Structure 1
Amino acid sequence: MAHHKTNPKDIVPIGQKMAFGAGHLVLNLLPGALGIFMFFLLTAFGMDPFLAGLLGGLPRIFDAITDPIMGFISDNTKSRWGRRRPYIFVGAILSGIFFIVLWQLDPEDSVNYNFWYFLIMSMVFLVGNTMFATPLIGLGYEMTSDYNERTRIMAFSQTIGQIAWMIVPWFWVLIANPDLFETQAIGVRRLSIIVGAVCLILGLLPAIFCKGIDSAHMENRKKITFKTMFSNLKDLLDGIVQVSKNKPFMKLCGATFLVFNGFQLVASFSYFIIVYYMFNGDFGAAGNWPAWFSTITAVITAFGVIPIVTWMANNWGKRNAFVISTAISILGYILKWWGFNPDYHWLIFLPVPFMAFGLGGLFTLMMSMTADVCDLDELRNGMPRKEGTFGAIYWWMVKLGQALALVLGGLVLKVVGFDGNAAVQTAETIRDLRIADIVIPAVTAGLAIVIMWKYSLNETRAAEIKQILVDRRGEL
């Protein structure tokens, strides 16, 4: 495959890559910690399971609405600091502070009080988090115009982001440890302060050090004021329609929806299989095996899989890298049948290096390809560039799939006959659960390969588009 040499001016300095990676660590650490802490709404704060489910789902709906709005605002912002960085700076501060405030619950308060407090503060937290996350994603798409450097940036950021998943599984162990915290509620409150402070500090780094595209002379940006609110809404909807007509982008969204949410749908199954199959329902004997499984997966993804995927993308093309890495992950899912072994516990790590190619390759490649798609959109629809809108809609698809996966995951557990109140599950239930744990993500990954098989925006086409845009803008 023919390759071009990256122009030195298109190479992003290592310092900027590290700052952007720090932002991605925050993007992973906040939702990861949120997911773990949500478990303690039941055990530490006495929340009704149905109400806890609402607290997990209702804010996601709100989040799905605010993402495209924030993307549109950052696309059209004019400031001396660029389109994205002011929002990232303010959003990092608000995200860290509101995450801390969100978890200052007291089990002595009534369930109704805690429910409304958490629901309202979740909305407030998500406003700050959206202000941080959506512009950060858009900034990453515009840090370079080079086809291969985009992959390297995303690979670097995803590697640093995986550090969050090496840490997060141990939050459950820390909070539940009576030697560290007098009660689980105290553990949640204190650990949230540490997480919020770390995310605030790391979140400021991309706002301070990263540089996006020079937008000083970018044409056709909309005026963002209260008076133009209704016309802005029409412009936002028009932009979403334009994005939805971008076939390469919709292929990326479809493939991501399938791979990520096929994985998410069965994500909790591994924990149940470890406890109820490998350790016959003995939570004490299962100990830290689930946490180690998650942590080792993140380590292999960060330092093994992502560098390999990056090499494949730069040498064989991004589409080919996606197809190969996704096919390898299917092999990993199949190996779980032998890896989850009640007689040889260490075999649990057998499928990990193969499974890790699924998500490790997915976001590294898809975020890089979305940046290419933004060039295609500028070619077809002109200025302003819509990195924020593309990023918001892409992640809206991810969040929609997550919500659907939570619902369908519970449905699958019900169909296989899983009983959370039973100390021991039936042999038929365990068998069917293990089959679902393999078949569901393997099938969705296979469908994603079918969707991406004829993806056409390769390196040659991307280079052609870039040259047309350079000529159109009158750049040297």
Structure 2
Amino acid sequence: MQNKLKKLGKFDDNEGGYNDCPTWRLGLFALNNTATNIYMFAMGYISMYATGIAGLMVTVVGFILTAMRIFDGITDPIVGFLIDKTDGKFGKFRPFIVIGNIILGVMTFVIYKTVHLVPENFRLVYFVACYAVYIIGYTCQTACTKAGQACMTNNPTKRPKFGLFDAIYNAVLFNGMQIFISSYLVPKHGGFGNIALYHELIMYTIIGSAILTALAVYGIWPKDRTEFFGLGNQASKVSFKDYWPVLKGNRALQMLIVAASTDKIALSVAQNASVTIMLFGIIMGDYSLAGTIGTIILIPNIIITMIGTRYAQKLGQKKALVVGTWASIISYTVLVALLVFGDPTQISLKNISFMTIAFIVVYIIAKGAVGVSGAFVIPMISDCADYETYLSGRFVPGMMGTLFSFIDKLISSFATTIVAFSVASIGFVDRMPDVTDVSNQKIFWMTMFLFVGMPMIGWICSLIAMKFYPLDKEKMKEIQAHIQYIKNSEAELV
């Protein structure tokens, strides 16, 4: 197909036939994901607030957060449908980005400021209602991250750069916020039992996310127009009944969902705030290590991600994801062996030992590998959207992104429940683990299972799914050539 199109003079292999954009705009738009990830990080402590401040039971909160995650998934197809139907004066994506961020800011403020003040008989219902509205805002903004990049560029060598920007931003964000919480907020407020800690956290969250959202809107502004939507036609004529045929007929989307959702639930468990507290605060005995070690590994992780992006540009995103997944499995195996056969309490930056050096070196490789394997998931959703245009002629990035999110969130929603029931099984029934708890064998082995065992299961599922994922680099060239040929043919008829 590609050779045929070249002969017709409709496709330039030197990137001339692609819808492209300046790299800096792609970098700005990637901040949309960072803007929502700030809220995701802040809400990672919601179970500690709900149990320690608002007085709700650990297992009840686990069920609620799981139910809300499922609700989050249910709202995805609805928002995706609305995005695909939208094509107005302010574009397809910008209205949802702005409205979503406003809802996030308002409801985060309301939840952390008022839930503990509501009468006990109504507290649970009030919490659920507020959180449900928060979820709607979160869905509006996150759906645009997955769908919006499809109109930014379809250049196979440019799309992986979105993953690079996203990985760098998230590395800086999560490490920075971890340092901020463990080295500043926790010492300042004396732990997670002080409501002032949460109030200060949400203040920075709301302001920071609003700034990043504004930058993301500016980045996508010139590309959020009809001529950059798929074949350059008007908004696609889709209905809810089209969701199942699209999911059923798009093998690439199916396999990406399997790979990403299994990774997501596993890593959501491993990165849960309670698991971080158990690993660094209880087993190692110094919770501030979570932030300081995060700072040490930040630059090496960015370098590893840059290498992975270069690899993806040359050999395709599929191969980069597979290589990153294998590297994650190997490095995490070494990491758990180090923690099991070594002495985790010897890991300290105040008295540097072999354990400290060994842990940091392996941790750098492990986190870098995880960053590479996860960096290309969002850009690969755009590949799946183009694959759907190639198959059916429909440009439905909202549908593709939210179909992905719906199943991804449905599966990963059980992460908080897994953590809640896991810690409850070792004695934490009325509260979550805190930095003041003493390490024991039950805590150690439960932490190893949650921090290493769960990710291993997810990565194995990813490798199996990628065996059946059809969109390698050559296939994507054929797809973009086909789409460009149709657009040029229709232009000639006008």
> Into which bin does the TM-score normalised by the smaller protein fall?
0.7 to 0.9
Report the more deviating stretch, 128-137 or 164-173. Answer: 164-173
Q: Return the letter of the residue paired with 2:248.
A: S
Is contact 2:41-2:174 (8 Å) kept?
A: yes
> Aligned equivalents of 2:192 and 2:271: distance in 1?
30
1:233-259 CA-to-partner distances (Å, cap 9, x unmatched) read xx1232343133211111111111222
> Aligned equivalents of 2:219 and 2:55: distance in 1?
43
1:78 to 70, 75, 87: 87
1:98 Cα deviation after fit:
2.6
1:62 to 48, 71, 77: 71
Is contact 1:260-1:359 (8 Å) kept?
A: no
1:215 Cα deviation after fit:
1.6
**Match for residue 480 of structure 2?**
466
Percentage of identical aligned residues: 17
> Aligned equivalents of 1:193 and 1:180: distance in 2?
19
SS of match in other structure, 2:428: coil
| Aligned ranges 1:308-323 → 2 under 5 Å | 308-323=307-322
Report the more deviating stretch, 207-216 or 127-136. Answer: 207-216
1:48-73 CA-to-partner distances (Å, cap 9, x unmatched) read 33443344223222211111111111
Q: Which runs of 5+ in 2 are unaligned?
A: 1-11, 348-355
2:233 to 209, 218, 226: 218
Say if 1:262 and 1:133 are closer, same or farther in 2 by CA, change over 3 A: closer
Say if 1:434 and 1:189 are closer, same or farther in 2 by CA, change over 3 A: closer
> Aligned equivalents of 1:107 and 1:456: distance in 2?
50
Q: Return the letter of the residue paired with 1:466.
A: Q
> Aligned equivalents of 2:144 and 2:106: distance in 1?
19
**Match for residue 418 of structure 1?**
426
The answer as to 2:291 corresponding to 1:287 is no
Report the more deviating stretch, 19-28 or 338-347. Answer: 338-347
> Aligned equivalents of 2:294 and 2:45: distance in 1?
13
The answer as to 2:122 corresponding to 1:126 is no
Is contact 1:339-1:349 (8 Å) kept?
A: no
Count the aligned residue pairs.
Answer: 453
Is contact 1:319-1:452 (8 Å) kept?
A: yes
**Match for residue 242 of structure 1?**
246
**Match for residue 351 of structure 2?**
none
> Aligned equivalents of 2:166 and 2:189: distance in 1?
35
**Match for residue 200 of structure 2?**
190
Q: Return the letter of the residue paired with 2:290.
A: P
SS of match in other structure, 1:148: coil
1:362 to 354, 373, 386: 373
The answer as to 2:363 corresponding to 1:352 is yes
2:466 to 446, 452, 455: 452
1:28 Cα deviation after fit:
1.1
Say if 1:190 and 1:435 are closer, same or farther in 2 by CA, change over 3 A: closer
**Match for residue 226 of structure 1?**
none
**Match for residue 444 of structure 2?**
430
Is contact 1:309-1:361 (8 Å) kept?
A: yes
> Aligned equivalents of 2:449 and 2:70: distance in 1?
31
**Match for residue 227 of structure 1?**
none
TM-score (normalised: structure 2): 0.82
Is contact 1:88-1:131 (8 Å) kept?
A: yes
Report the more deviating stretch, 112-121 or 196-205. Answer: 112-121
| Aligned ranges 1:360-439 → 2 under 5 Å | 360-383=371-394, 385-410=395-420, 418-420=426-428, 427=441, 430-431=444-445, 434=448, 437-439=451-453
**Match for residue 330 of structure 2?**
331
Q: Return the letter of the residue paired with 2:262.
A: L
**Match for residue 272 of structure 1?**
278
1:362 Cα deviation after fit:
3.1
> Aligned equivalents of 1:51 and 1:450: distance in 2?
35
SS of match in other structure, 2:376: helix
TM-score (normalised: structure 1): 0.84
1:367-389 CA-to-partner distances (Å, cap 9, x unmatched) read 22221221110121123x11111
Say if 1:239 and 1:110 are closer, same or farther in 2 by CA, change over 3 A: same
Q: Return the letter of the residue paired with 2:263.
A: V
SS of match in other structure, 1:351: helix
1:97 to 103, 106, 115: 106
Is contact 2:243-2:403 (8 Å) kept?
A: no
SS of match in other structure, 1:419: coil
> Aligned equivalents of 2:175 and 2:442: distance in 1?
33
1:379-407 CA-to-partner distances (Å, cap 9, x unmatched) read 21123x11111111222233223222333
**Match for residue 261 of structure 1?**
265
Is contact 1:256-1:362 (8 Å) kept?
A: no
Is contact 1:84-1:135 (8 Å) kept?
A: yes
Q: Return the letter of the residue paired with 1:264.
A: S
Say if 1:275 and 1:215 are closer, same or farther in 2 by CA, change over 3 A: same
> Aligned equivalents of 1:177 and 1:8: distance in 2?
56
Provide the aligned C-alpha RMSD in A. Answer: 3.1
> Aligned equivalents of 2:46 and 2:396: distance in 1?
35
Q: Which runs of 5+ in 1 are unaligned?
A: 223-231, 280-285
1:179-220 CA-to-partner distances (Å, cap 9, x unmatched) read 699982133223312211221232122223314364255246
